[in-house]
Amino acid sequence: MKRTYLGEFEEIVLLTVAVLNDAAYGVAITDELDRQTGRSVSISAVHAALHRLEEKGMLSSHMGDATAERGGRRKRLFTVTALGSRALHDIRAMRDQLWNSISPNALPAISI
């Protein structure tokens, strides 16, 4: 099976969809990205990433119910697919392996 690679932004969007679980839609994802990362991103950038991730088979979406707060409009809700979950687990395993391979004195000390 061919491996699909993710850019950093796609990875954090995919992770954010997982964080939000059943409440993952464009505006909520954008707000959560800002809250979790401190990065201010445009809704159009989030929508583009969601579209790419759905095309790659890492997300699926469906239309939610109409709500009064949105003037009767429906939200497109996103969920992580099995392929998306596998990709996130693979990325985490690779990162953990790399971090664990760094010798203690390889990186300059930082104060947090």
Evaluate whether residue 1 is within a structural domain: no
pLDDT given at position 70 = 65
Tell me if 21 is assigned to some domain. yes
Residue 2 lies in a domain: no
Q: Which helix (H) or strand (E) holds 13?
A: helix 8-20
Q: Per the structure, how many domains does the chain have?
A: 1
Strand partners, 78: 61
What is the reported pLDDT for 67?
A: 73
Angle subtended at Cα 58 by Cα 34 and Cα 46, rounded to the nearest 5 degrees: 30
Provide the residue-wise pLDDT of the chain in tens; the chain has 112 residues. 456 689 999 999 999 999 999 999 999 999 999 999 998 999 999 999 999 999 999 999 999 877 767 667 788 999 999 999 999 999 999 999 999 999 988 988 888 7
* Residues whose CB is less than 8 angstroms from the CB of residue 65 and which lie 6 or more positions away in sequence, other chains included: 74
* Domain CATH number, residue 25: 1.10.10.10
Its domain, for residue 72, covers 8-97
DSSP string for 24-83: --HHHHHHHHHHHH-----HHHHHHHHHHHHHTTSEEEEEEEE-GGGTTPEEEEEEE-HH
- Whether residue 87 is contained in a domain is answered as yes
